[in-house]
Amino acid sequence: MKSFSTLQIALGASALVHAVVLTTRFVDPASFERIFQDTPLEVILVNAKSSEKPDVAKAIAQRTLAGGGELEKGRATSPLPPSALTELGDAAEDAQRKVDALQEQQMQLLAQIKNQLATMPPPDPKRPSNDPAQGEREEKRKQLIKILAEIEKRISEENARPKKRYISPATREEVYAVYYDQLRRKIEDRGTTHFPEQAGKKLYGELTMIVTVNFDGKILATEVVETSGSLTLDRRAQSIVMGTGPFDRFSDAMRRKADQIVVVSRFKFTRDETLETRLTNR
C-alpha cells in the first residue's frame, strides 16, 4: 500500500464502489416472487380502444384502454379460482335444440325452393333457343332443382339414421322422465341383488356410464366414460345393466321424437351393498 499514492488509492476505491453499485439489481420482492408462481393466463375482452394510456396498467392487452364499463368498479373478475373445465348448461340438451333448429331451417328452405319452382313458368317452345331471358330462367331452374335434390338427399340420409334422445338432469318431458325412472329402478334392484364382488370380497366405488336403449327396450351399448379405478367393478357394472334389459317399448309419444335414448348416469356401489344411480351431464 505504501507504493501507491493517496490519489491512486482513492481512485481504486471509487472504481470498486461503482462496480458494486452497477452490478446490483433492485427489484420489487412481490413481483420477483410472482415469477415463480403458477399463474393462469388471464384473458380480457374489450370492445373499445382509446388514445389515452392508463397511469398504472393492470393488464396487458392488444389495444390501449384506460378503462371500460363501470370504471369506478375496475375490471370484472371471477370470485372463483381458475378452473381447467367449465360447463355451461346442459350440453346434450343444447345440442338437441341446435339440431332441431337446423332441421326446421332445412324444412323451410325445402318448402321455399319447391314454391319457387312451382311459380316459375314452364319453358316456351315458341321462343328461340338463344333468348337470353329464357336461358337465364332455365339456368335458375337447373340450380334450384340441384339444390332441391341435395336437400332431399340429406333429409333421406338423416331419416335413415336412428334419432337419439339424450336423457339428462335438464330433461323435462314427462314421457322420458317416467321411462327413465322405471329403467333406473330396475338397474338399481338388479345391482343391489347381484352386488359385484371378487374372490368373495364386495367391490365398492363410483363410475359414470353411458347406456343406449333402443325403441324396443333392448340395450344396444354400454360405455364407461369415467372409471371407478377398478376394471373389474367397471365390467361388473356393465354386466348388471346388460342383464337388466330388455325394458319396456317406447310409447308412441317417445317414438315420434326418438328411436333410441342415451342416458349418462352415475353408478355408486355403496358400503351398504346397494346400487345408487343418478343422471349426470358427464
User: 176 pLDDT band (50/70/90 cuts)?
Assistant: confident
What band does 58 get if pLDDT is binned at 50, 70 and 90?
Answer: low
How far is the C-alpha of 274 from the C-alpha of 204, rounded, in Å? 10
Percent of the chain scoring above 70 in pLDDT: 60
Percentage of residues in the chain with pLDDT exceeding 90?
A: 30
pLDDT score for 174: 73
Between 149 and 241, whose confidence is greater? 241
Decide if pLDDT at 215 tops 80.
Answer: yes
pTM for this model (two decimals):
0.49
- Give the pLDDT confidence score for residue 156 in this predicted structure: 72
Whether pLDDT at 219 is above 80 = yes
Mean pLDDT of 16-28: 62
CA–CA separation, 282 vs 276, rounded Å?
17
Right CATH number for 165-279 from 3.30.70, 3.30.1150, 3.40.1620, 3.30.110?
3.30.1150
Domain with CATH 3.30.1150 in the chain: 165-279
| The pLDDT of residue 275 | 94
Give the cell for residue 199: 374372490
Q: How far is CA 62 from the centre of its chain?
A: 28
What pLDDT, on the 0 to 100 scale, is given for residue 204? 96
pLDDT bracket for residue 116 (50, 70, 90): confident
Q: Of 33-37, 48-52, 161-165, 187-191, which one has max mean pLDDT?
A: 187-191
Asked if residue 168 lies in contact with residue 279, where contact means CB atoms within 8 angstroms, the answer is yes
pLDDT in tens, 27-49: 555 555 544 454 444 455 554 55
Could you tell me the CA-to-CA distances from 66 to 43, 45, 59 in Å, in that order?
17, 14, 11
SS3 string of 135-187?
HHHHHHHHHHHHHHHHHHHHHHHHHHCCCEEEECCCCCCHHHHHHHHHHHHHH
Secondary structure percentages of the chain, helix, strand, coil, to 5: 45, 15, 40
pLDDT at 71: 46
